[in-house]
Structure 1
Amino acid sequence: MSVRTITIDDQHVSVEEGSSVLDAAKAAGITIPTLCHMDGVYDTGACRMCLVEVEGIPKLLPACSTIVAEGWVIHTQSERLKKYRRITLELLFAERNHVCAACVANGHCELQTMAYSQGMDHVRYDYCYPKWEMDLTHPLFGMDHNRCILCARCVRTCWHIEGAGTKNVAGRGGRAHIITDMNEDWGDSATCTWCGKCVQSCPTGALFQIGATAGEMTRDPGRLNDIITARRKKQWNV
């Protein structure tokens, strides 16, 4: 297979043809912040946290869904990028009702951790305070749209790991939200397999186990990638 040689943050890296910028950065030991990316499912570039600069290209590119080209010179930690990442995080917090102290994922939330790592200590924008309801109709799991960042990790997990196709995104702009089947209550779904993989994939407190209280919702998204790897390599135990 052909190889592409690029430069990332002054490091020369050789990666296989078809690799993303994010893959190349990982190969070089460089961390690029992400929220919607999850190993084991395809990338959509939804969160825009992984934007990078490529010399000769005026616009910023999402590292997760941009395929590298020979000779690219890429920057991942410029002041411009730090500014845009901070803006993105603040807008995510302002768009919904993220109250960390009362959240089931407090202390185990990727959005919260990202805010800490990027030095975000306040939000400069007016909060939208949308009126979103919770879906507590499922016997095992709940969905709180107030915590959702529309990363669609649950949708991709449901479709491409579990294969149920239960979750999807409906609406546009500020009214975009995750739905179950044809916008039914989760507890009425005829396709949900009760596997809980979507809950494991959620980076915030939007999807949770019924009965979990503030700070109790822990997850291990790496288990989902293990399922994909085991399928490919036919490692299932009989």
Structure 2
Amino acid sequence: MAVKTFVLDGQFISAREGQTLLEVARESGVRVPTLCHLDGLGEVGACRLCLVEVNGRLMPACLTRVAEEMDVRTQSDRLRRYRKQIVELLFAERNHVCSVCVANGDCELQDLAMQLGVDHVRYPPQEPECAVDLSHDRYGIDHNRCVLCTRCVRVCDEIEGAHTWDVAGRGTNARVITDLNQPWGDASTCTSCGKCVMACPTGALFHRGSSVSESAHDRETLHALIVAREEKRWLV
């Protein structure tokens, strides 16, 4: 496999052809913030938090493949400004109130806000009408907390193979849906595996009965399932 050499934050780096900038950065110990990325799932570049500067241009690190003569910067005042703005816009788009959320203390959006110094939101709240679906006997979805990262869609499609979840609507009317917009409890394709709940970065998907700060996303179990599937352990 061909090797590509480029500059990453002032240091010459060698990477395998086909690798993304996000993969190489993490292998090199460089932290690049993400929200829609989850190891083992396909990339969609939905959140744009992993923006980096490539020869002066803003590019999503999760979708940009390494190439010769790249000069990549992962940290700059410009990038910090854009990343903070993105997080603020995510808070303004839906009705995020951390103090009453089941994922308070275990939320990737909340963590990013603290890391980027988001102590207030400069943009007017959209305050859309977002429903809470408790029709499933095990899980619930609160669309107020959803950031449309599509992790649930991808883990259901790529790992479970059910493709119960999808996205419908545009702009502020976009919502994740189950089985052509049926209530989750009526979705005949749902296997009740819970992988979507494990994958969710916020409190949008949760176990029924969870109260404030009680939701815990079991990333280790999900990662183990993804690795086992990739290695085809159950086919041996």
Report TM bin, short chain: over 0.9
Amino acid at match of 2:80: K
State whether residues 159 and 229 of structure 2, in contact with CA within 8 Å, keep that contact through their aligned partners in structure 1: no
Residue number in structure 2 paired with 1:125: 123
Mind listing any 5+ residue stretches in structure 2 that lack a counterpart?
Answer: none
Match of 2:153 in 1: 155
Instruction: Give the conservation status (yes or no) of the 8 Å contact 1:161–1:224.
Output: no
Deviation digits for residues 56-104 of structure 1, max 9, x if unmatched?
Answer: x53x100011111112110011100000001100000000000000000
CA distance in 1, matches of 2:6, 2:220: 28
SS at match of 2:144: helix
In structure 2, the residue matched to 1:67 is 65
* Worse-matched range after superposition: 218-227 or 98-107: 218-227
Q: Counterpart of 1:28? A: 28
2-side partners of 1:212 and 1:46: how far apart? 28
How far apart, in 2, do the equivalents of 1:11 and 1:216 lie? 43
Residue 16 of structure 1 corresponds to 16
Instruction: Report the secondary structure of 2:47's partner residue.
Output: coil
Per-residue deviation at 1:7? 1.3
Deviation of 1:39 after TM superposition, in Å, equals 0.3
Are the equivalent residues in 2 in contact too, given 1:11–1:28 (CA < 8 A)? no
Unaligned runs of 5+ in 1: none
Name 1:95's counterpart in structure 2: 93
Identical positions, percent: 55
Post-superposition CA distance 1:123-158 (Å, at most 9, x none): 001011111110000000000000000000000000
Does the 8 Å CA contact 1:38/1:221 hold for their aligned counterparts? no
Q: How do 1:32-51 and structure 2 match up within 5 A?
A: 32-51=32-51
How far apart in 2 are the matches of 1:178 and 1:197?
15
Post-superposition Cα deviations, 1:157-216, rounded to whole Å, max 9, x if no partner, equal: 000000001000000011000000110000001000000000000000000000000000
What TM-score, normalized by structure 1, do the two folds share? 0.96
How many residues are treated as equivalent by the alignment? 236
Question: Counterparts of 1:34 and 1:218 in 2: how far apart (Å)?
Answer: 19
Distance 2:44 2:176 in 1: 16
**Contact 2:3/2:17 (<8 A) preserved:** yes
| C-alpha deviation, 1:237, in angstroms | 9.5
